[in-house]
Amino acid sequence: MLVGIPKETYPGERRVALIPSVVPTLRKAGLDVMVESSAGKEAGYPDAAYVEKGATIAASRMQVFDSAHILLQIRLPGANPEQGTPDLPLYRAGQIVIGLAEALSNPHAVRDLAARKVTAFAMELMPRITRAQSMDVLSSMGTIAGYKAVLLAAETLPKMFPMLMTAAGTITPARVFIIGAGVAGLQAISMARRLGATVEAYDVRPAVKEQVQSLGAKFVDLPLEAGDTEDKGGYAKALDESFYRRQRELLTKIVTSSDVVITTAAVPGKKAPILITAEMVAQMTPGSVIVDLAAERGGNCELTKPNQSIVAHGITIHGPENLASTVPYHASQMYAKNVSTFLLHLVKKGEIVLDLHDEITRETLLTKDGEIVHPRIREVLGPLAGRRVEEVS
């Protein structure tokens, strides 16, 4: 079977789905690899490096789509609605397509894939179980986002992060507050501590308190009972507005006394909860910085502008949408490891075998034989889930 790697077309996307060092692993499993010319160039992986490891370079994008039995991508059309749509006619019935699909946020794109009769998998729906940790793309990319968020804040803040004893006097450390202690939040804590900041962190899950403290940060305890905060797949669940309102009230004092606030609270397929209001921003010390890692979902800060950096009330608010792509070399390395491990999970003796009794396969499978098979996507689409594209367009 031939695995195809098209060049990413999303604006500003510099990652590539597979790096040269992974090619021998796939070949050992009986899979050949074809890469679109210059697909890895912006990530630091030239065509020659792929050829050296046993891959072939396609003469055109069309050749990749025409020849490949399996396509590995960073972004499927659902996660690349403008530039990805022209690729839809290139997909063939029976082709295996694996990538980030934004399936819960853009379920209509899943219907489009079903209409092409491809077998599509969404990497962002990977269940958070022990067996799937090496396939967890969101955790990999969250690690990079947390790292870069701190660097972005440090570059913007008109203060230094560490405490310094100098002949000119003592420089007090910057105060950094991290909201959300998931993968991105924990990496942000670690990075801010390395730079010498005083770090506090909050999460609705009391169970992460020890992890926060182990990284040298203070865990902020709020008198709030959140109840069940995760779904069965291990992802965050949306809470009711009364909880968020009370949460904002209790967070105000900490937010307004911090030099840097980094927010990471996002719920798959839903708008991010507002944790920082415009009123809270107005009370912060001028020059302070907010980095909103939930910007792609609308933002945790009421004033966030997705993919923009703005200044409001003297506070710089960054709303980056694709921080992982700013570190394309290692982001591609991590993604390639995740997606190749998942692909090899599906391959038995050189052929794709779909075991729907397996949780990893079942939870990531979107479409098969012209149908949407994922129950959560069918639920979101309602009556449209079973209808062809041409019937509703």
Strand-pair category, 119-122 with 365-368: antiparallel
Task: Report whether 239 contacts 226 (CB < 8 A).
Answer: yes
Residues 6+ apart with CB under 8 A from 375: none
Which is the catalytic residue, given 27, 92, 128, 376? Answer: 128
- CA 178 to each of CA 88, 148, 162, 200, 336: distance values in angstroms, whole numbers, following the listed order: 40, 14, 17, 6, 29
Task: Report whether 180 contacts 186 (CB < 8 A).
Answer: no
| Joined tokens for residue 377 | 């996507």
Which is the catalytic residue, given 67, 133, 213, 308? Answer: 133
Nearest Cα to 203, choosing from 249, 153, 251?
A: 251
| Whole-number Å distance between alpha carbons of 360 and 355 | 9
Which is the catalytic residue, given 235, 258, 325, 335? Answer: 235
24-30: list long-range contacts, CB under 8 Å, 24+ apart.
24/53, 24/54, 25/340, 25/344, 26/340, 26/343, 26/344, 27/54, 29/344, 29/347, 29/350, 30/1, 30/347, 30/349, 30/350
21 annotated active-site: no
63 annotated active-site: no
329 annotated active-site: no
Question: What are the residues facing 198 on neighbouring strands?
Answer: 175
202 annotated active-site: no
Burial class (CB in 10 A: 0-12, 13-18, 19+), 238: middle
Which is the catalytic residue, given 87, 136, 203, 292? Answer: 136
Task: Report whether 290 contacts 313 (CB < 8 A).
Answer: no
Which is the catalytic residue, given 15, 45, 47, 139? Answer: 139
136 annotated active-site: yes
Would you call 300 helix, strand, or coil by DSSP? Answer: coil
Catalytic residues: 128, 133, 136, 139, 235
